[in-house]
Amino acid sequence: MAKVAFIGLGVMGYPMAGHLAMAGHRVTVYNRTMARAAKWVKEFEQAGKGGHVAAHTPKAAAESAKIVLMCVGADRDIRDVVFGDQGVLAGMKAGAVLVDHTTASAAIARELHEKAGEKEIGFLDAPVSGGEAGAVNGQLTVMIGGGEAPFKKARPVIKTYAKMMKLLGPAGSGQTAKMVNQICIAGIVQGLSEALHFALEAGMDANAVVDVISKGAAQSWQMENRASTMIDDKFDFGFAVDWMRKDLAIVLAEARRLGVSLPLTALVDQFYNDVQKMGGSRQDTSSLIRRFRE
């Protein structure tokens, strides 16, 4: 079992680090709010072989770790924990691997790959899909960019919380794949919102309709897991609208760089802006249907 570090104990990182501990890895954690890191250590102190600790800086967390994993908020947060005298790279040794599970830009992934390479440190950009439930249940899908050698080193560690992982190409490929994922989700949730609204306005039993069509070509994860709660006006599940807008901003910026038109994605992004104005910033992405109910 490896000595690993996990940086960022948010909604996703907290349970992901927990899976590492339960699998027998010795885990050092770092979180900007030290109280949360202390809470994690207390909760998992007996997990696996024990010996888990909280560090006061990213550098201290990364020292002597063979694999350093992180899941923070955005590009600026990555810079805060990776660079500088107290950053992750200042503590890592040659031969170690840095794995970034943050959903961020492909540009920063390529930058991290370059900076890590200067110290002979491997790097993987490895954003995840599956939401909080996937993290808690160890059932995340991990999209990975980087080299084959660091992937082989990190794979047994990532496996502790992943049901699926795939190396998709050079640095930045994981982040690009996550953008594809978010484009799909945005379109599907909007389509499902319109469909349910239509069914209800037509006087149909929307749950009965979903029960039928979910067995055919219209089936999707969103339909299976969110249709009934959308009908019931319940939106306290999964991935928040604020985070979806952050991700779609990354998508649309990359699309502009590539000269690619994404009209549906741009439109749904504005619909999510409407939901934010309605007070739904922390509701999950299925709250898109609320636009039809105001």
Each residue of 233-289: pLDDT tens digit?
Answer: 999 987 899 999 999 999 999 999 999 999 999 999 999 999 999 999 999 999 999
- Residue 12: helix, strand or coil by DSSP? coil
> Which residues have a catalytic role annotated?
178
- 8 A C-beta contact, residue 1 and residue 26: yes
Question: For helices 34-44 and 13-22, what crossing angle results, to 10°?
Answer: 30
Closest C-alpha to 160, from 178, 181, 194, 137: 137
- Per-residue model confidence (pLDDT) at position 237: 83
Provide the mean pLDDT of the chain. 96
Question: 158 CB contacts (<8 Å, ≥6 apart)?
Answer: 69, 99, 126, 142, 165
Domains present along the chain, CATH in parentheses? 3-169 (3.40.50.720), 177-292 (1.10.1040.10)
- Which residue's structure tokens are 């990532």? 158
Each residue of 27-58: pLDDT tens digit?
Answer: 999 999 999 999 999 999 989 888 999 999 99
| pLDDT surpassing 90 at residue 141 | yes
Q: Which amino acid is residue 219, in one-letter code? A: Q
129 — pLDDT class (breaks 50, 70, 90): very high
69 — pLDDT class (breaks 50, 70, 90): very high
Each residue of 74-118: pLDDT tens digit?
Answer: 999 999 999 999 999 999 999 999 999 999 999 999 999 999 999
Pairing of strands 67-70, 53-54: unpaired
Q: Which amino acid is residue 271, in one-letter code? A: F
- Per-residue model confidence (pLDDT) at position 270: 98
Show the DSSP H helices in the chain as ranges: 13-22, 34-44, 58-62, 75-82, 88-91, 106-118, 131-137, 148-158, 173-201, 206-213, 221-231, 241-258, 263-277
294 — pLDDT class (breaks 50, 70, 90): confident
